[in-house]
Amino acid sequence: MSGSAVGDKIRKMSSRQQIPGPTVKRLTLYLREVDRRLAAGEVRVSSRQLGQEIGVTDTQIRKDLSWFGQFGQAGVGYLLDDLGSRLRQILGKDRTWKTALVGAGRLGQAIMSYGPFAREGFEIAAVFDADPRLVGTEVVKRRIRPMADLDRLVRDRDILLGIVSVPKEAAQVTADLLIDAGVLGILNFAPVRLEVGDRASVVTVDFSARLEQLAFQVSLGLKGSIDVDE
């Protein structure tokens, strides 16, 4: 299936009723627990057992899964293999996502070197930078392309996701270029809010804000894992 066809399919899917953000986060936790149990040789799991390790009630699990149809059987539970396959499909992890990385500085190079990206189905298919000292060089076995090539390569390589690791002053322009080229989702590492409207999905990773929140928790003597996301 071509990138344009995949993009059209995803746009149609995104027009359906919006799934709550907390539900999506929990689906990822469910999949991790399913994979752990599969690796241990287990075959079946109940809602109660699934939630025990991740601190979620069986009622919440059933409510989250109900957004996506019928799962398991009452009184019997879920076949782990089937549940894992459906969760991967829902989360888009049943295929390889071609990704464009913009910004090949230290953070960008760290992202390129991050092994789990490929293992989780994300392929960095093109890397771009505006620095003439980097353009044309090879970093982490990837050739750095000029920004002028972004539109053409994103389209030619059927890229649907973008990673923004540029200074905050250039982040919005970079996001606009990626979206105009056909990117549907952006992982933003710049400490700035991207204004994209309904043109694309954006997830922002703000390291400074997270460190501030951690310092706040420590200053209050708070311990344990605390989710500060809304």
Q: Which structural domain, as residue segments, surrounds residue 18?
A: 3-90
> Average of pLDDT values for 104-131?
91
pLDDT at 8: 53
The highest-confidence range among 15-19, 103-107, 216-220, by mean pLDDT, is: 103-107
34 and 75 inside one domain:
yes
Residue 227 lies in a domain: no
pLDDT at 216: 77
118 and 200 inside one domain:
yes
Inter-residue contact 92 to 98 (CB < 8 Å): no
> Average of pLDDT values for 52-72?
89
Task: Tell me the C-alpha to C-alpha distance, in Å, between residue 129 and each of 97, 110, 121, 186.
Answer: 21, 15, 24, 16
Q: What are the beta bridge partners of residue 100? A: 126, 162
For residue 116, give both structure tokens.
Answer: 């789990």
**Which of 38, 69, 90 is the C-terminal boundary of a domain?**
90
pLDDT tier at 213, thresholds 50, 70, 90? confident
pLDDT tier at 194, thresholds 50, 70, 90? very high
Distance of alpha carbon 192 from alpha carbon 195, whole angstroms: 9
pLDDT over 90 at 13, yes or no: no
pLDDT tier at 121, thresholds 50, 70, 90? confident
What's the pTM?
A: 0.70
Task: Report the sign of the C-alpha dihedral through residues 150, 184, 182, 158, in that order.
Answer: positive
pLDDT at 15: 42
pLDDT over 60 at 7, yes or no: no
125-170 tens-digit pLDDT: 999 999 999 999 999 889 999 999 999 999 999 999 999 999 999 9
Distance of alpha carbon 92 from alpha carbon 185, whole angstroms: 12
Distance of alpha carbon 117 from alpha carbon 131, whole angstroms: 25
81 and 110 inside one domain:
no
Domain count, the chain: 2
> Average of pLDDT values for 186-208?
91
Residue 48 lies in a domain: yes
What does DSSP say about strands 201-204 and 185-188: parallel, antiparallel, or unpaired? parallel
pLDDT tier at 222, thresholds 50, 70, 90? low
pLDDT at 225: 59
pLDDT over 60 at 230, yes or no: no
170-191 tens-digit pLDDT: 999 999 999 999 999 999 999 9
**Which of 58, 90, 122 is the C-terminal boundary of a domain?**
90
Residue 228 lies in a domain: no
Count CB-CB contacts under 10 A for residue 88: 16
